[in-house]
Copies of this chain bind each other. A is one copy, B any other.
Amino acid sequence: MFAGCETDTVPVRIGGKWTVKIIICLKAGPRRFSELQTPLRGITPKVLTESLRALERDGFIMRTAHAEIPPRVEYELTPLGRTLFEPMAAFCDWRRAHLSELLDARETYEHRVPTA
């Protein structure tokens, strides 16, 4: 998703397939790599790593590697990352309010008469 207001320079991407879900998973507190893999059923380690790196790069999450055996790495939202919940909530509210209209529209579109 591009938050392209007027100026389009510097697109802000939170539109990956997994990014939003990861952020939600981290809302309750720090999570380990494997603790993220479990709720995100189906994500491969490669893709999870890529997604986490992207979020880290944008300053939304922080990675902490503990020097232990076996290794333990924890990811947690930064204060900046937590600010994302506000606009995200706006979309959730929208979804709640208008999802049924959207579904109706799709249903109607399927059964439409191709216009005479």
Question: Contact residues of A with B, CB < 8 Å?
Answer: 1-5, 8, 10, 12, 14-15, 17, 20-21, 24, 56-60, 65, 80, 83-84, 86-99, 101-106, 108-109, 115
Contact = CB atoms under 8 A, between A and B. Distances in A.
Protomer copies: 2
A20 B4 CA distance: 8
What are the 7 tightest A-B residue pairs by CB atom distance, in nearest-first order?
A59-B105, A1-B1, A90-B90, A87-B90, A3-B91, A5-B92, A87-B94
Task: Name A's interface SS.
Answer: helix
Contacts of A21: 2, 4, 8
A21 B15 CA distance: 15
Contacts of A15: 1, 15
